[in-house]
């Protein structure tokens, strides 16, 4: 595992209606996460954190969700990675670290494969580990 240089907690909220199976939901724009190099990521469910930064309920089971991360060249660097596989709670406390990815956050997204364990207005919580370009 790489040391954590910087960390930022983000959320993806489903909104007032539960998204259907096969729906992609893009990450919002966070100005702090522009022009960064991604080194790792975690996805948490309610076993780790129960309320999102905006006060929404956190999903109870992420097993029907996958994550796709895009770089600044719109290439899928991580494609359909199981969200539960990115949760240290289920992986002996380890998080997934990556070779530095020049992340394009607003093009990255989650995909709902099975919404049976999900509910409207819930949030998926992701923790982004990164460093600023040219400031490693």
Please give the mean pLDDT across all residues of the chain.
Answer: 93
Q: Judge contact between 47 and 78, C-beta under 8 A.
A: no
Rounded to whole angstroms, how far apart are CA atoms 86 and 63?
Answer: 10
How high is the pLDDT of residue 97? Answer: 86
Could you tell me if residue 4 is inside a domain?
A: no
Q: Give the residue numbers spanning the domain of 63.
A: 17-132
- Higher-confidence residue of 20 and 135: namely 20
Side-chain-side CA neighbours of residue 9 (13 Å):
11
Could you tell me if residue 93 is inside a domain?
A: yes
Mean pLDDT of 73-77: 95
Please state the domain count of the chain. 1
Q: Which residue in the block uniquely carries the two structure tokens 């380890």?
A: 94
Could you tell me if residue 6 is inside a domain?
A: no
Rounded to whole angstroms, how far apart are CA atoms 110 and 23?
Answer: 8
How high is the pLDDT of residue 21? Answer: 96
Could you tell me if residue 45 is inside a domain?
A: yes
pLDDT > 70 in the chain, percent: 98
Could you tell me if residue 26 is inside a domain?
A: yes
Could you tell me if residue 25 is inside a domain?
A: yes
pLDDT at 136 over 60: no
């Amino acid at each position: 595992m790489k040391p954590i240089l910087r960390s930022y907690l983000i959320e993806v909220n489903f909104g007032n209606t539960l998204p259907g199976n096969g729906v992609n939901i893009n990450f919002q724009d966070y100005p702090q996460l522009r022009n960064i190099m991604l080194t790792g990521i975690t996805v948490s469910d309610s076993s780790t954190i129960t309320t999102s930064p905006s006060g929404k309920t956190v999903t109870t089971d992420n097993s029907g969700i996958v994550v796709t991360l895009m770089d600044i060249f719109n290439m899928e660097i991580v494609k359909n990675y199981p969200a539960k596989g990115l949760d240290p709670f289920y992986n002996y406390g380890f998080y997934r670290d990556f070779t530095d990815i020049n992340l394009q956050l607003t093009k990255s997204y989650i995909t709902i494969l099975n919404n049976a364990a999900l509910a409207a207005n819930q949030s998926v919580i992701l923790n982004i580990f990164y460093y600023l370009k040219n400031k490693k």
